[in-house]
Amino acid sequence: MMELQDGAELCFPQLFNMSCRKPTLRWSETVLLKLLLFFISLTTIAINLLVIISVSHFRQLHTPTNILILSLAVSDLLVGLVLMPGEIFRYTSCWIFGDVMCAIFCYLGGQTLTSSISSIAIISADRYTAICHPLHYSKIITLKRAKNCVCLCWLWCFVYSMIYMKDELIQPGTGNSCYGECVLKYTYITVTVDIILTFIFPVTVIIVLYMRVFVVAVSQARAMRSHITAVTVHHAGTLSKKSELKAARTLGILVIVYLSCLCPYYCYMLVDVNIINPTVATSLAFMFYFNSCLNPLIYALFYPWFRKAIKLIVTLQILQPGSRETNIL
């Protein structure tokens, strides 16, 4: 139940002792927290929307890798568009939309976050194939297979979320202790299974694949250095060193950011299955959601074509005839 101060008003006065009390937050908490979370939400929406428009509009960007990035951007856009505002409202106000809407909101949360995590794992597999098996990449990863993989990913997330939340969807509001609240009731078994399928397994896949990518990238950089002539030894050493550092830095950012955003939430869920402290719950949820704001920065902003696409979108040049055929690469 929400943290409350004595004398707080009821969410539904007509229900007396069956109603939750309105959250009573200090002015600084209410204003500063809402501004911060609202800014994060808007940033998440804007960046992911730019990725979606870029990949969808420019024909040159219709590649298997970008299709996977598009899937990730769609799920992250839904996080900023639906989950973040809903979480802000749930923490700072009474839930007035009823138990059914609460169940739908929580279902969308599970569906969206699961698809986001799954998309990251698929992207890691795509990059592993591209770097470790470059000669066979075009045969293994085609545009049609990438689209089919994305469809299967979203279908799996849809079915999994339905199974995971079947009790709440059948009987909405079972986890609420009073009217005006929107919480889910978990069991240790369901949380453990969820952590294995949506955290441990994807994280293991991502780490294993990216470690393999890192090893191959470093070996390729060293091979290039060993074949450089003595005249350009110094230049080659500098170039290879930069290549190694770039590979290490990119890999480190991908793994560390992912784990930093997700680990606190899942670790706390293991310690306390039913999170009752709203401040802790909201903080962990937004740390979880914040990964959706960072994903496009990691997976798209590092690409030169994205910076060029942003310029064309902001200046409205994409509205001109034939802009879909623009040389963006």
What confidence tens digit (pLDDT) does each residue in 119-156 have?
888 888 888 888 788 888 888 888 999 999 999 999 99
18 falls within a domain:
no
Rounded to 5 degrees, what are φ and ψ at 10? -80, 150
40 falls within a domain:
yes
Domain that holds residue 282: 32-325
8 falls within a domain:
no
- Given a cut of 70, whether residue 309 has pLDDT beyond it is yes
Rounded average pLDDT over 157-185: 81
Which candidate, 231, 287, 218, 235, places its Cα nearest to that of 258? 287
Of 116-130, 227-241, 242-256, which range is least confident?
227-241
Mean of pLDDT over the chain: 78
Rounded to 5 degrees, what are φ and ψ at 19? -95, 145
150 falls within a domain:
yes
Three-state DSSP state, 179: strand
85 falls within a domain:
yes
1 falls within a domain:
no
Rounded average pLDDT over 194-212: 84
Which candidate, 265, 282, 274, places its Cα nearest to that of 83? 282
| Structure confidence at residue 34 as a pLDDT band (50, 70, 90) | confident
Do residues 106 and 184 touch, judged by C-beta distance below 8 A?
Answer: yes
- Given a cut of 80, whether residue 329 has pLDDT beyond it is no
Is the model more confident about 23 or about 129?
129
13 falls within a domain:
no
14 falls within a domain:
no
For 145, how many CA atoms within 13 A lie in the half-sphere containing its CB? 9
Number of domains in the chain: 1
What is the per-residue pLDDT across 62-94, written as a single tens digit (0 to 9) for each? 888 889 889 989 998 998 898 888 887 877 778
The CA distance from 62 to 58, in Å, is 7
| Residue 156, domain CATH | 1.20.1070.10
- Given a cut of 90, whether residue 213 has pLDDT beyond it is no
